[in-house]
Chains A and B, each alone.
Chain A
Amino acid sequence: MTFLYQVINGLQVGSIYALVALGYSMVYGIVNLINFAHGDIIMVGAYCAWLAMMKWGAPPWISILFAIAFCTVLGMTIEKVAYKPLRKSPRISLLITAIGVSLFLENLAQLVFTANPQRFPTIVTLPSIQLGSRQLSATTIMTIVVSVFFMVVLSFLVNKTKMGKAMRAASEDEATAQLMGINVNHTISFTFAIGSALAAVGAILYCSAYTQLSPLMGVMLGLKAFVAAVLGGIGSIPGAMIGGLVIGLAESLTKGYISSQLADGVVFGILIVVLLIKPTGLMGRSMNEKV
């Protein structure tokens, strides 16, 4: 039972990592940028929901929609203002800009909300489930269900819709995508919008699980999701999902059976091992293509 309990916990945190990792991976796929500001979008999403619920007294579902909408617009704005002017610059300039945006958001949040952590209210008020001698909270189950739902929606969007196909085409070959009549600027905006919306969902799930938020909460969560994206093969959507779940499980099982202090070490250890042994990740493709 303990094992099952740890696995379910791992799936909970893993599905949050997966949602966030999707944002890293999709953006990387289309503009070859590790968007280090992505973790901080999560933090913004968390504060949006918190503001709406605790300060303005809005019901949870309105607050969630507000957080998603705000992050979507924020993600698209960051792309337009900070990344688009650098599209023809070396990748390193873009990377440094992303770090700059990240620092900007973190410090802005500390200025506005102070560095003190805030308490996040409980959204899911259903009773918990008894699993042997342990309690399994409704939030845990809800997190997994909601994440799976969003991943299914995303898969449909990317594989079946016109915009999703345009995204895949542009991520494979931007110039040729343009020759097909695809407006690559729109496609890139759309990618940032989707990634940021998923980050907002991840933010709410994360805060529901850990019941607090702070201006630097996105740093660790973002880094772990990044590890998940690399493990899955950055640029690959199914890879990000699998990577997220594997990282979550690894973390949870380490906490349960070895030591909770080692959990972060194991996660970053996985990053090192992946980079040494299979830098393209589990589902990543090799770079050379048939001409």
Chain B
Amino acid sequence: MLKVTDMNVYYGAIHAIKGISFEVNEGEIVTLIGANGAGKSTTLKTISGLLRSKTGGISFMGQDIKNMPPHKIVELGIAHVPEGRRIFSRMTVEENLEMGAFTCKPQDIPPDIERVFERFPRLKERRRQIAGTLSGGEQQMLAMGRGLMSHPKLMMLDEPSMGLAPLLVYQIFEIIRELNRAGTTILLVEQNAQMALSIADRGYVLETGRIVTAADSAVLLDDSAVQKAYLGG
């Protein structure tokens, strides 16, 4: 479904992503794990078009998206829920969801908003509230709900567990699993490798801009080097 080949990304003189290749198949949950600064978020930003790869290609459902502007990539069915949630804090909960549906037909938006409210009832109670006043967990739910509004085929989630209490982390991961069962392919970036691997089918380990290991989640969970580096073993 998504195929990244030989991605090289630079921030000025800094070579942040050094020729990585990976793919995500339809229906999978794939996770990119790695330490801070390994290049996980950069990879996602390059797929969604906010950053550019100097070489190689990015194809989504057979279409080359490497040089497409971000707003076109959204239309093709990729939703990117960015790190730190990045909700529009001065807009209401409902307006945030409307923004998520920016590429959709206006008549589809109200039923889609109701569908998001069904999944996240807390948001419904706060629909007219300014989003900046929500708690961290609610903001994460809003960010995910906003991502769902565009009916993505592939959802890229960047650190959804960041800064959340353990109980909320479980809840968020349970929702990710449900979304996947409902047919959305997931590309998940996490520092919480244990949690990510527990729901993912496959994982890639990123280290300073390179993929050092790629395997099924079960294998990675057992891998002693991965355990040592990322799983606190």
Contact = CB atoms under 8 A, between A and B. Distances in A.
Interface of A: 162, 165-166, 168-169, 172-173, 175-184, 285, 289-291
B89 A291 contact: no
A102 to B, nearest CB: 30
In the A-B complex, the 9 residue pairs with the smallest Cβ-Cβ separation, listed nearest first, are: A181-B74, A181-B103, A178-B70, A181-B102, A176-B86, A180-B99, A180-B102, A181-B71, A183-B71
A176 B70 CA distance: 10
Given A165-B91, A181-B75, A181-B150, A291 B84 contact: yes
A166 B163 contact: no
6 contacts: A172-B89, A177-B99, A181-B150, A183-B69, A290-B139, A291-B163
Interface of B: 48-50, 69-71, 74-75, 79-80, 82, 84, 86, 88-91, 95, 98-100, 102-103, 106, 132, 136, 139, 146, 150, 163
A81 B50 CA distance: 23
Contacts of B69: 178, 183
Contacts of A285: 90
Contacts of A169: 88, 91, 99
A162 B91 CA distance: 13
A77 to B, nearest CB: 22
| A interface SS class | helix
Given A181-B103, A182-B71, A291-B163, A165 B95 contact: yes
B99 A172 contact: no
Nearest to A186: B71
A176 B91 CA distance: 13
A181 B102 CA distance: 6
B98 A165 contact: yes
Given A173-B86, A176-B82, A290-B132, A182 B91 contact: no
A207 B15 CA distance: 57
Contacts of A179: 48, 50, 70, 74, 79-80, 82
Contacts of B79: 179
Nearest to B70: A178
Nearest to B74: A181
A166 B132 contact: no
A173 B102 contact: no
B136 to A, nearest CB: 8
A169 B87 CA distance: 9
Given A166-B102, A169-B99, A291-B84, A178 B91 contact: no
Given A165-B95, A289-B132, 8 more contacts: A162-B106, A172-B91, A179-B48, A180-B74, A180-B100, A180-B146, A181-B102, A183-B71
